[in-house]
Structure 1
Amino acid sequence: MTKPRTLFSRRFWMKSFKRLLLLCLLSFIGFWVLDKLFPLPIEDFEQRSLAQLVVGSDGKPLRAFPDEQGVWRYPVTIDEVSPLYLEALINYEDQYFYSHPGVNPFALTRAVGQAIYHGEVVSGASTLTMQVARILEPHEKSVSGKLQQMFRAFQLEWHYSKEEILTYYLNYAPFGGTIEGVEAASFTYLGKSASDLTASEAALLAVLPQAPSWNRPDLHPQRAQKQRNKLLDRLAEFGVWSQELVDDIKQEDVWAEYNTQPVIAPLFSRELVNRYPQQRLIKSSIDRTLQAEIGWSVLDYIRGKEEGMSAAVIVMDNKTSLPLVYIGSADFANHERAGYVDMAQALRSPGSTLKPFIYGLGIDQGLIHSESLLLDVPQSFAGYKPKNFNEHFNGAVSVSQALGRSLNMPVVQLLNELSPEYFYTKLTNAGLKLSLPPNAKPNLSIALGGGGANLQQLVGLFSSLGNAGKATKLRLHSSESQRSYPLMSKESSWIIQNILWQIPLNNQISHRYFSANKSIAYKTGTSYGSRDAWVLATNEKVTIGVWVGMTDGSFSVNNSGRTTAVPLLQRILNILPSDWIKPIQRPGTVTVADICWPLGTLASMQTEGNCHKKRQAYLVEDTAPVTLSDPLSSQWSHGLLTIQVDPVSGKRVNPQCFDGAIETREIALWPRSLEPWIAKPFRSEQLLPELSENCRNHINFSSPKIAGIDPDSILYAPHEAQQLPDIQLLAEGVTGQLHWFLNGRLLDATLMSNNSVSLKALDIGRYEVVVIDETGAFAELKFQVQQ
């Protein structure tokens, strides 16, 4: 009797096993067929465009750009998410995620049993895979919908690894509103990347997708905290986190804000997104703290300026050529100031900002040193007649004075020696190709802003003064190659930056933001019509560029580099770390020595009589070039004039009028162009020996005179009047074009007629009139006006 029953049992189980195998096979085949007939719409994930996020050097957001549907979704991988979040998520949502095939049969059985017993759904059975399936293909809450979700979950497990499924969840899980994915949620609510989450923050974000709108921490912090604590209890129960840690976390209140649109460096971020449209998370070099502080300071500053005015600021790290601060406009949200226009990229006239490089190249070419004598006098260069900003001329000036005071005539004089073509080529090779009018060639006007450049280019160029003469190109992202362009020698770059470093920032400016202990080498610039105000500053650490002006390029009132841009630079320096602002060490090949005017060479190489003025100069390897030639005197050879004298009387002679012994001498004379500006003892008539009586008939002694008022006259204004009627003066004994000066100020051409000038409505005071002809000959007249 036992054997038949055993045989029956064996046959029963064998038959059942075969039926089970057949059922599994048929199920597999059915699943395979359904999988082919209804493939996973995974392309829906792939077609969902991701938002783009630009972050600062600390990984925190600068500006975010949503996808086409306005959804904020930032890409992230498992490795880029805090392990604390992954622990909290998996142990709360799906403890057996790594062991089930997409559906947890035990959880499903429990959920069904509880629903039958209680007559309603008590607990869910969704796995993380099932949640991904529902995100991929939303469905109604019904039995058919749940079956569809389970089928898609099996498909996901069939086609993708656990890591890939979890990555889908991390990127597409709903977190309230238009926020999808843990990275977007972390930045939106907590202002940080998901890689930096604390245990409390990780637990908070892990529970949000359960009911994202109901538990939004910015709107319902108490609900969110309750759900977070529920998760924490489960983690403690499962032994994932210690009870001590959980208790500590529970002491923390939930705090969050809803900030999908950080607006820090908005124009810079926009440029990066345009350059890298496929890159979803763009890490920049911007220092968020400095960017925000300087941005607020620029905004506060510009609000006190006229409507329509804006500003742009770049702070570049000289070592990396990357921006630490990039402010394209002063007020991004202000349409009246065109805040949406990136003025750091706008082509504008650079004004006087290129002058330092003309002087630097002049040193490298052996034309000048730091104290070379230059001519700040009226000159014409093939019809080009520049003036100084204040329309005054200063006569004899050194290179350091001319650059420090940003005088125009001396730099044009030097550029004429270098040639505009040479300077333009050097700038081009250093990364700055000046924008010129169509078919125009480089000319002398480029020394004073005759061309177009933008702030990005000028910052790269100006960094050469802080980087041993090597310019660079500002790169907006670390993936761009860094380039270095040799522009000047390290010696000339140091000499030029040292001159600029000596200029006080608070010169004639009182500003409460200025910190007196912060100095930096800087150069201002103002374009024609005060359209653009510039200041470029540099040291070994950083290069700073500031532009202030009207965004539409229109004229502005009292807008200049000194009065408008420098005060903003002072604010910036007050915000930057103190150890960033310090002088550059002088190269050992830059020496200090005494030189003499007017010759310009070493004092040790000159006779005492020829050294009229001694100055201390910075030289390159003890080399002191002679003073540049005088355009008004072909006989003046770098200051030395060869004369013939009677050795007995010491008077000047020549072989045509003197038949005795003749002695040849060399006398140092000042350039003839400077005669009206230098003290009388240094004028040629005082330096040259008296002419012998026998030779006076051979030389024309006629000299210019001013007629119309007797010298040293006192003129009286009419009774009870403060001004004189118009006075007409006539220049006699002059040649060619005339320049008239009143108390050192060049008079307007409209006041002149032939060789005369009209002085209109003179106030009570002292006056000096000087007229200079095109040969350099001049006449002076002094008088007073009294009541």
Structure 2
Amino acid sequence: MTRRRLIGLAAGGLVLAGLAGGYGFWRLGEGPDGGATAFSREVVDRQDRLLRPFQTDDDMWRFPGAVGAVDPLFLRMLKAYEDRRFSSHPGVDPLALGRAAGQWLANGRIVSGGSTLAMQVARLIDKREDGRSLFVKLREMARAVRLRQTLGEERILDLYLSLAPYGGNVEGIRAASLAYFGKEPRRLSPGEAALLVALPQAPETRRPDRFPERARRARDRVLDRMLLAGVLKPEQVAAGKAEHVPTARRAMPAFAWHASAEAVAAEPGRRVHRLTLDRGHQEALEALVRERARAAGAKISAGLVAIDHRSGEVIARIGAADPLDTERQGAVDMTRAIRSPGSALKPFIYALAYEAGLAHPETLIEDRPQRFGSYAPVNFDRGYQGTVSTRNALQMSLNVPAVALLEAVGPQRFMSRLEQAGVRPALPRGEVPGLAIGLGGVGLRLVDLAALYAGLARLGDMPALIERRDLPAPPAPRPLAEEAAAWAVGDILTDAPAPESALTGRYAYKTGTSYGFRDAWAIGFDGQRTIAVWVGRPDGSSIPGLTGRTAAAPILFDAFARLGPYAPLPGRPAHLQALTNSQLPPPLRRFGAAREEAGDTRELKIAFPPDGVRIDLGAAAGPMEQLPVRTVGGRPPFTVLVDGRPVARFGAQRQANVAPDGPGFTTLSVIDAEGRSASVTVRVE
């Protein structure tokens, strides 16, 4: 051993021995322990896979490091390169310190600091001014000894893995692995591990995205050292040196853009947000939606919601074709936007009619020109099919039969059923539900339609959608329709014609197209999953030729294919018989037959407005709006009286708009063709 090395060892030993036992040395080591470090917020999926991280308030990418989440090869290489005796010293390595002290004595200045991993962690935590003075090194030594005694070996490693600098705004091995390799650091190649060992030594001058050749040389030096240390075999070193050095940083994962932002905004103080989404499904469906929206044309976006309806968990939610595409208004979350559903609500009209005993799938119904008061619906193709079964009417999405059934069910009753199930349809201010709601005259969100169809898939038991795993349990499922009615509608929708190049009979689905070709919808389910798709322009502008069948249905069927094997739909309930039209009771063989023969003999009632209610018709702001009056029961035609004065007459549409004399209490009365009457008193404001 040389004289210089002996002097160094002696000097180092004396300094360490003297200071380690002193109270002053222990006090010098006081400081933070890393517990207050700010880390990036994370949104993770159902398997804790990263969906989208968010930068810290100081614009850093920094994640908590953990020994168990890092490739063991990297840890062996790190210790061999930075701190060979990491597990045997108290935070300061006397041999390394001796070497540094000898160099200092020989050169009159600090040549190498003999830093251990614990000393580097102390420096990273303190974030004080860097320096190579003796006092700075003594403080690092004291901090290292104190941290090692208070935190332990594994926690020291965790802190290094969290705080080591990797260039720019990247700190910690996880952020570095994601930024340079696009993957978690659980599995690293020898070349990747060597690069991550080398970068913290000179993070700014070895950044591979700026200085790839310097990064390569530093990596190769680490590989050579690992060969000499016996950590790597020659073939591993050769393979590591042959690996490509990344020349650009990768973008951090950004899946479920809108869902992630929504979760963080709801609880900004939470660091990890756990969603029910499945990253694999989310990634596959995002690619599908992006591809189809771009192919559809300029400014067109799309949204998609996929649910495991057995549990109500949302497994994928896509708010836009491309969140960063300003031309397509990607910032708008179209799964939450209120839009006209077109014909997508028709299945629930039929379900309620079946449940109420007004019709059966084999009941015959007329598809002919018909007026419902002032409302005269026409079919999408402007043609009529004549007499059809309600089964065929729903499969062909005929408008006149749907409106006829809705009139019999009652628009308010239909809306109330949706609201009882947890859906809040939107109507213009001051409007009351009318027959137009069956053809899209109401606003709904994509998530609402997904939930409603999930209720059909569950045979009438509508689940509360779950998207967060870290919140209290959601409400219990709510009734949407009786089991027999829900199954019958699902069975009908299974035979709806599939889009081109797809098989009919696998999925129960329905399309919808809003007025003016503004929104295209397709919603369907199999035995396990419910998927809802919207296509259109977020600004609501018209797209000539846009329909649910041509724009949204192909995405729906491809989405099912990408989610995995087909899950069979439930079979016919045991108590539900398959009947032909001739086997039905006479009143159910043809819709409306009984009422045509004898009229509606139910008790006459005013369904709206309710007795005693206050109604704001805008009297304080100027001319009052008209007040809708709607009846159930009785036999048309009907006469409406306001404070005893006849003001209107209506028939089968069962609704009329009247004008009260002014603000204050008003009595509304209705008299039917048989002389039966009903009255309510309301306060007009």
**Partner SS, residue 316 of structure 1:** strand
Do the aligned partners of residues 265 and 370 (structure 1) sit closer, same or farther apart at CA in structure 2, a change above 3 Å counting? same
Amino acid at match of 1:253: E
The 1-side partners of 2:194 and 2:276 are apart by: 31
AA partner of residue 504 (structure 1): P
Range that drifts further, 196-205 or 451-460: 196-205
Contact 2:282-2:315 at 8 Å conserved across structures: yes
Residues 20-99 of structure 1 aligned to structure 2 (within 5 Å):
28-31=22-25, 34=28, 39-41=30-32, 48-56=37-45, 61-99=50-88
TM-score relative to the length of structure 1: 0.66
1:261 aligned to 2:252? yes
Is contact 1:518–1:573 with CA below 8 Å preserved after alignment?
A: no
1:242 to 1:25, Cα distance in 2 relative to 1, 3 A: closer
- 1:92 to 1:523, Cα distance in 2 relative to 1, 3 A: same
Change (3 A) 1:56 1:32: closer
Separation in structure 1 between the aligned mates of residue 45 and residue 182 of structure 2, nearest angstrom: 12
| 1:586 partner letter | R
Aligned to 1:110: 99
Letter in 1 for 2:353: G
The residue identity in structure 1 corresponding to 2:23 is: I
2:131 is the counterpart of 1:141: yes
Asked if the contact 1:362–1:368 (Cα under 8 Å) also holds between the matched residues in 2, the reply is yes
1:423 corresponds, among 395, 400, 414, to: 414
Match of 1:181 in 2: 172
The alignment status of 1:595 with 2:581, answered yes or no, reads yes
1:500 aligns with 2:496: no
Q: Could you tell me how far 1:464 is from its partner in structure 2?
A: 2.1
> Which one scores higher on RCO, CA 8 angstroms, separation ≥ 6?
2
Distance 1:489 1:235, change over 3 A: farther
Query: Measured at CA, do residues 468 and 631 of structure 1 come closer, stay the same or move farther in structure 2, by a change above 3 Å?
Result: closer
Number of aligned residue pairs: 586
**1:322 corresponds to which of 310, 313, 317:** 313
Matched with 2:592 is 629
Deviation of 1:346 after TM superposition, in Å, equals 0.5
Deviation at 1:245, TM superposition (A): 8.0
Question: What is the DSSP-based 3-state SS (H/G/I as helix, E as strand, rest coil) of the residue aligned with 2:579?
Answer: strand
Change (3 A) 1:100 1:582: same
Q: How big is each residue's C-alpha offset from its partner over 1:248-289, in whole Å with a ceiling of 9 and x where there is no partner?
A: 864762454521333433223222322343343445444445
1:480-495 equivalences under 5 Å are 480=471, 481-482=473-474, 483-495=476-488
> 1:349 pairs with 336, 340, 345, which one?
340
SS at match of 2:158: helix
TM-score by length of 2: 0.76
Aligned residue for 2:52, secondary structure, equals strand
Q: Report if the CA contact (8 A) 1:63-1:263 is conserved.
A: yes
Q: CA deviation at 1:292?
A: 3.8
For residues 593 and 320 of structure 1, do their structure 2 counterparts lie closer, same or farther at Cα, with a shift above 3 Å needed?
closer
2:619 aligns to what? none
The residue identity in structure 2 corresponding to 1:63 is: R
1:526 aligns with 2:519: no
| C-alpha distance in 1 between matches for 2:544 and 2:504 | 31
- Give CA-to-partner distance per residue, 1:377-413, whole Å, 9 cap, x none: 3444454443333344433221111111212222222
Identity rate, percent: 37
Tell me the equivalent position of 2:264: 273
- AA partner of residue 487 (structure 1): L
The alignment status of 1:558 with 2:548, answered yes or no, reads no
What amino acid does structure 2 have at the position aligned with 1:498?
A: D
| 1:342-741 equivalences in 2 (<5 Å) | 342-381=333-372, 383-438=374-429, 440-480=431-471, 481-482=473-474, 483-506=476-499, 514-516=501-503, 519-573=506-560, 575-577=562-564, 579-580=565-566, 582-596=568-582, 601-602=583-584, 625-630=588-593, 633-635=596-598
Deviations 1:36-94 (A, max 9, x none): xxx5255xx56653222334556654433212232111223333334443333233322
Shift of 1:498: 1.9
Give the 3-state SS of the residue equivalent to 1:303 in structure 2: helix
Q: Equivalents in 2 of 1:61, 1:252: separation in Å? A: 30
The answer on whether the counterparts of 1:316 and 1:322 sit within 8 Å (CA) in structure 2 is yes
For residue 545 of structure 1, report the CA deviation from its aligned partner: 1.0
Distance 1:404 1:518 in 2: 12
1:561 & 1:323 partners in 2: Cα distance?
Answer: 23
Bigger CA radius of gyration: 1
- Cα RMSD for the two superposed structures: 3.6
Contact 1:465 1:539 in 2 (8 A): no
> Does structure 2 retain, via aligned residues, the 8 Å contact 1:61–1:192?
no
Check the 8 A contact 1:73/1:179 in 2, yes or no. yes
Q: Is the 8 A contact 1:52 1:281 kept in 2?
A: yes
Match of 2:204 in 1: 213
SS in 1 for 2:533: strand
CA 1:517/1:424 → structure 2, altered by over 3 Å: closer, same or farther?
A: closer
How far the C-alpha of 1:536 sits from its partner, in A, is 0.7
Q: What amino acid maps onto 1:562 in structure 2?
A: R
What is the rounded CA distance, in whole Å, between the counterparts of 1:293 and 1:161 in structure 2? 43
Q: Is the Cα–Cα contact under 8 Å of residues 86 and 117 in structure 2 kept in the other structure?
A: yes
| Structure 2 CA distance for aligned equivalents of residues 575 and 26 of structure 1 | 63
In 2, Cα distance between equivalents of 1:320 and 1:594: 35
Change (3 A) 1:324 1:196: farther
Q: CA deviation at 1:461?
A: 1.3
User: Structure 1 residues 545, 26: CA separation in 2 closer, same or farther (over 3 Å shift)?
Assistant: closer
Superposed CA deviations along residues 628-663 of structure 1, whole A, max 9, x for unmatched, are 43498344799xxxxxxxxxxxxxxxxxxxxxxxxx
8 Å Cα contact 1:400-1:499 kept in structure 2:
yes
SS at 2:255 equivalent: coil
CA contact (8 A) 2:227 2:237 kept: no
How far residue 434 of structure 1 moved from its aligned partner, in angstroms, is 1.4
- 8 Å contact kept, 2:220–2:241: no
- Say if 1:224 and 1:254, in contact at 8 Å, map to a contact too: no
| Separation of aligned partners in 2, 1:587 and 1:479 | 36
Q: Distance in 2 between matches of 1:569 and 1:413?
A: 29
Q: Give the Cα separation in 1 of the matches to 2:591 and 2:111.
A: 97
Partners of 2:379 and 2:504 in 1: CA distance: 31
